[in-house]
A and B are shown apart, each in its own frame.
Chain A
Amino acid sequence: DSGVTQTPKHLITATGQRVTLRCSPRSGDLSVYWYQQSLDQGLQFLIHYYNGEERAKGNILERFSAQQFPDLHSELNLSSLELGDSALYFCASSVEGRGVSPLHFGNGTRLTVT
């Protein structure tokens, strides 16, 4: 058990809808990273928050947004969903904010857009 909690485990929704994915980092970790995993693209970095502040953006669509709250949990919001957004979404946490310490991944949220 990595100590990172992601909810929900599965999400099925229709095109055009909006969903929120939630992540609770390991106790003591200040950084939260979001990654998208699809079959042909591997793990794609979306966004990184450190202690409530956005630190880095990767290949995140404008329809997607995230935030990290004062209790350090994070939410990833996906709107105007398209079929191609179907994927596994992982949250990972780490102690520091420069990407050079181990990331601890949750078990992901599987999003299916129909």
Chain B
Amino acid sequence: GENVEQHPSTLSVQEGDSAVIKCTYSDSASNYFPWYKQELGKGPQLIIDIRSNVGEKKDQRIAVTLNKTAKHFSLHITETQPEDSAVYFCAASPNQAGTALIFGKGTTLSVSS
């Protein structure tokens, strides 16, 4: 089955810096790659997603890149702000019956002002 590895587990940056979180997946059949942000006491919330027919997607300060050949995808946050501090999860979905989104173990991002 699918396995998703996420790095780093913790990331500390200064306000205004960029943050990059990387994930690799094992199942070449996976074709949907969302990123979720989880704030304390809340459930994960989708912030951006990308499908296998696209190499890059941007939404304001957030971007995601996908390299299907290497089976890895990354989240880029530019001009970080203290409110970006949270746990970020990547996930991959094999798009097959009998499967579901498989998540990485998360990255705790701390943005200090």
Contact = CB atoms under 8 A, between A and B. Distances in A.
A102 B43 CA distance: 14
Give the bracket for the number of chain B residues in contact with chain A.
20 to 34
Nearest to B92: A99
A42 B43 contact: no
A108 B93 contact: no
B14 interface: no
Residue from B32, B42, B99 with most neighbouring chain A CB atoms (10 Å): B99
B100 A56 contact: yes
Interface string A21-42: 0000000000001010000011
Interface in A50-69: 55-56, 58
Interface string B88-102: 010001111111111
Nearest to B34: A102
26 contacts: A2-B45, A33-B100, A33-B101, A42-B104, A43-B44, A43-B89, A43-B103, A45-B100, A45-B102, A48-B100, A55-B97, A55-B98, A92-B43, A98-B93, A98-B96, A99-B101, A100-B31, A100-B32, A102-B34, A102-B46, A102-B49, A103-B34, A105-B43, A105-B44, A105-B45, A107-B41
